[in-house]
Structure formats: C-alpha cells, structure tokens
C-alpha cells in the first residue's frame, strides 16, 4: 500500500505542475510558453488516444522544461547526479513542481504530512495565506498495482519512465516516434500515455527517510481511476496532539526531511513546546497521561473523508 498526506483538502489529486496557479501562469499573454514556435505534430494526440487541450499541455511541458533547466544549472554545485532521472526526482523532493505526485510506503510519514504546516513562501507580490492552518488534513491510501490495466511498479530507469522524464529534461518529443514504437514491438503497439507508479532509486537521504514513491503523470495521460483509493479526514483541532504523539516515536521535521535547517527548526519548536504543552501545576502525572491517551491518532482520524 502507498500513502499520501495533505495538510488541507484539495479537490483534485494531481501533481504540482497541474495546479491552477500554474494554469494562470500559462494563460498569461505576457509570456509566450510556446517560445514563438508552432506546436510540433508529435505533441498532439493520435488516433484512438484520449483527447486533451494540446496547446495548454504543450505550454505546461515547456514551462516544466524551463524550470528543470534552471534547477539543473543553479544546483550543480550542491549535489551530484548520474542520470536525468535522478535529477528529476531530487528536484521534485526539493519543491520544484513537476509531473510527479509524492507518496510513501510509510503511513506515519504520510500522517506527519497531514499535521505539519510546511513552511512555504507566498507567491511573489502576494500576502501569506493562513486559511490552511485551520483546515482539516486528508490521509490517502491506495494499491498502486490497480492503477490502470496491467499496472506494475516501475523502476526509474524503466524504458517507459525514462522516455517520459527525458521529454522534460532533454526536450525530447513528448510521444515516442514511430521508429521508437517499432523497437518496442508489441508493447509499442499498445503504448499510450498513462499514469505510472514508480519506485525511485535512493539518490537523496530525504527520499530514503520518507520511504518515497511517486506516480508519474505523463504528457497527455487521461484520468486513471483506482478502486482501491481511500481517504480519511484528519480534523484540524486534532493535528497538534497527533503531531506530539508522532514526535514521541521519532517522526518529526528533522527525521522526515533530514537537513540541518530542519533540525534547527525542529529543536526550536520542540523546546518551545515545554511552555505550550505544560500541564497545570495541580494536575497529577497520571491525569496528564490519561489526557495524552485520549488524543490518540486512531481516534483523531475520521473514517470518512470530507466531501469537496
């Protein structure tokens, strides 16, 4: 089973590159994301393939290409990578919007994501949004092997995975050419853009700490229903107690993200908690323990996700 935690409810379970804020950037006439060139024929859907907005999706592809190119150029002194696939996965885990949707095989890490307010800067020129701080979280679970027909867990160097990632990192045509499809033989005849469940190779310690898995939403891929997908609501007023209980078993900001700045944030937060969570002076130790027991994650997580 794979798990995913979100601090607030989103109507669509999609990677960051498909968020509405990105759509607004792509539709802004002040920037030409087609780079002054016509849309290549290979970027359009083919006979028998699902329909989609070709112009918008090709703009999205170019936006992602420019973003990855800038990340590759400006991060090269900070880490070493051997393949384009490694670069792509590391970029996603450090906040770059892409076609990858984060999952984990560790349910406690995903539960932590439900109760931990990620430190994000507001978009340039906008005020920070505090509404999410009082929002309910959502914990998802699914069996990735039911993600479409004949689905299986792909390796990051799998031919299908590599081809789709290289359409971004190496600016290849988003769809395989007829020659490439011929090389795939029978598999080429059945090839369609789709959502791929992927187990990445460990190239950054935080991927290992988070037991990271991904779904890759390929260019032109249609919706892919998964009957095993389940969701549970995490009420906002229970988040602080759940976070405290995760802390007691070693699930905190530092152990999840594994960087020195996160260690600093976690220590300041942890030592501040002595004042915030101290029991009243006359309260007995046993009463304090009973109060903690009443705040168990099992009771705090609803059995029914909140409807959008």
Give residue-wise pLDDT tens across range 21-52. 899 999 998 888 988 888 877 777 666 677 88
Q: SS3 of 216, please? A: strand
Give the mean pLDDT of 127-145: 78
- Does the reported pTM lie above 0.85? no
Lowest mean pLDDT among 152-156, 165-169, 185-189, 286-290: 286-290
Cβ proximity of 198 and 216 under 8 Å: yes
Helix boundaries (H) for the chain: 20-26, 54-75, 84-93, 107-115, 159-169, 178-183, 186-189, 205-209, 239-248, 253-257, 260-276, 285-294, 297-300
Residue 113 clears pLDDT 60, i.e. is over it: yes
Cβ proximity of 148 and 50 under 8 Å: no
What's the burial of 119, exposed, middle or buried (CB within 10 Å: 0-12/13-18/19+)?
A: exposed
User: What is the structure's pLDDT at 296?
Assistant: 39
Contacts with 97 (C-beta within 8 Å, 6 or more apart), sequence order: 15, 16, 17, 19, 22, 64, 67
Give the mean pLDDT of 208-222: 88
> Per residue in 47-87, pLDDT tens?
667 788 888 999 999 999 999 999 999 988 887 888 888 88
Residue 196 clears pLDDT 70, i.e. is over it: yes
Contacts with 257 (C-beta within 8 Å, 6 or more apart), sequence order: 206, 209
Residue 278 clears pLDDT 60, i.e. is over it: no
Strand bridging mode 230-234 / 137-142: antiparallel
Residue 8 clears pLDDT 90, i.e. is over it: no
Mean pLDDT of the chain: 79
Q: How many CB atoms lie within 10 A of CB 9?
A: 17
For the chain, the straight-line distance linking the first and the last C-alpha, in angstroms and rounded, comes to 24
Binned at pLDDT 50, 70 and 90, residue 185 comes out as low
In the chain, domain spans: 2-231, 237-300
Phi–psi pair at 218, nearest 5 degrees: -65, 160
């Amino acid at each position: 089973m794979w798990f995913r935690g979100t601090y607030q409810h989103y109507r669509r379970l999609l990677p960051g590159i498909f968020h509405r804020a990105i759509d607004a950037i792509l539709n802004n006439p002040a920037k030409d994301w087609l780079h002054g060139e016509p849309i290549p024929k290979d970027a359009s859907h083919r006979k028998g393939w699902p329909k989609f907005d070709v112009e918008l999706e090709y703009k999205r592809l170019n936006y992602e290409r420019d973003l990855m190119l800038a990340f590759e150029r400006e991060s090269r002194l900070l880490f070493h990578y051997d393949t384009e696939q490694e670069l792509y996965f590391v970029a996603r885990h450090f906040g770059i919007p892409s076609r990858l949707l984060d999952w984990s095989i560790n349910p406690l890490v995903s539960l932590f994501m439900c109760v931990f307010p990620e430190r994000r800067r507001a978009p340039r020129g906008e005020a920070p949004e505090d509404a999410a701080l009082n929002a309910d979280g959502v914990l998802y679970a699914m069996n990735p092997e039911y993600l479409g027909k004949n689905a299986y867990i792909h390796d990051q160097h799998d031919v299908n995975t590599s081809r789709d990632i290289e359409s971004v990192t190496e600016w290849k045509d988003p769809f395989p050419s007829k020659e490439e499809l011929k090389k795939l033989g029978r598999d080429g005849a059945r090839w369609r853009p789709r959502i791929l469940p992927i187990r990445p190779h460990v190239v950054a310690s935080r991927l290992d700490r988070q037991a990271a898995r991904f779904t890759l939403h390929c260019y032109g891929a249609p919706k892919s229903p998964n009957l095993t997908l389940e969701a549970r609501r995490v009420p906002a007023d229970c988040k602080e107690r759940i976070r405290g209980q995760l802390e007691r078993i070693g699930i905190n900001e530092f152990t999840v993200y594994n960087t020195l700045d996160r260690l600093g944030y976690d220590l300041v937060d942890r030592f501040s908690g002595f004042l915030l969570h101290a029991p009243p002076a006359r309260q007995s130790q046993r009463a304090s323990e009973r109060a903690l027991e009443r705040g168990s994650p099992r009771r705090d997580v609803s059995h029914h996700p909140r409807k959008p």
